[in-house]
Amino acid sequence: MLRLLAGIAGIVLGLNALRSSSGLVPTLFHVLWLGLSSLLIVGLWTPIVGTLLALNALWHALTHVEDRWYCVVVGALGVALALLGPGLWSVDAHLFGWRRLEISARKRPDRPD
């Protein structure tokens, strides 16, 4: 759900910014934003895409004052996804496998049985 929320928020922000942008560089920037958000929704290369989305949101927050807090939220979601990973229902999980960490009870050396 976190990937879906961040992806939809990124697509909405990218479409709104694409409508109001003029020039080649801002248009390419917003198309990149849309592409990253789409990859995030399907869960392909999630840690890389989450990091790039967070950097993209930081740049957009610094250059567009009117959407600053919206960009901060999308950037925070990108960072969270980069750290958490794709999850079970993603393309990454099917391509590379899904790992589950199990913490076993270890015997502490300072406590005898």
Segments forming the whole domain that contains residue 67: 2-96
- Amino acid identity, position 22: S
In a domain, residue 107? The reply is no
CA pair distance 13, 1, nearest whole angstrom = 18
**Residue labelled with tokens 């957009």:** 60
In a domain, residue 101? The reply is no
In a domain, residue 75? The reply is yes
User: Phi-psi category of 89—alpha, beta or left, where left has phi over 0 and alpha has psi -120 to 50?
Assistant: beta
In a domain, residue 111? The reply is no
Here the tokens at position 22 are 């003029």
Blockwise average pLDDT, block size 10, the chain, 113 residues: 85 83 80 87 86 85 80 86 76 69 68 59
- pTM of the complete model: 0.69
DSSP H helix total and E strand total for the chain: 5, 0
In a domain, residue 25? The reply is yes
The confidence score (pLDDT) of residue 77 equals: 86
- For helices 2-20 and 68-84, the axis angle rounded to 10 degrees is 140
Count of domains for the chain: 1
In a domain, residue 109? The reply is no
- Amino acid identity, position 58: L
Specify whether the CB–CB gap between 58 and 78 falls below 8 A: no
DSSP conformation class of 99? -
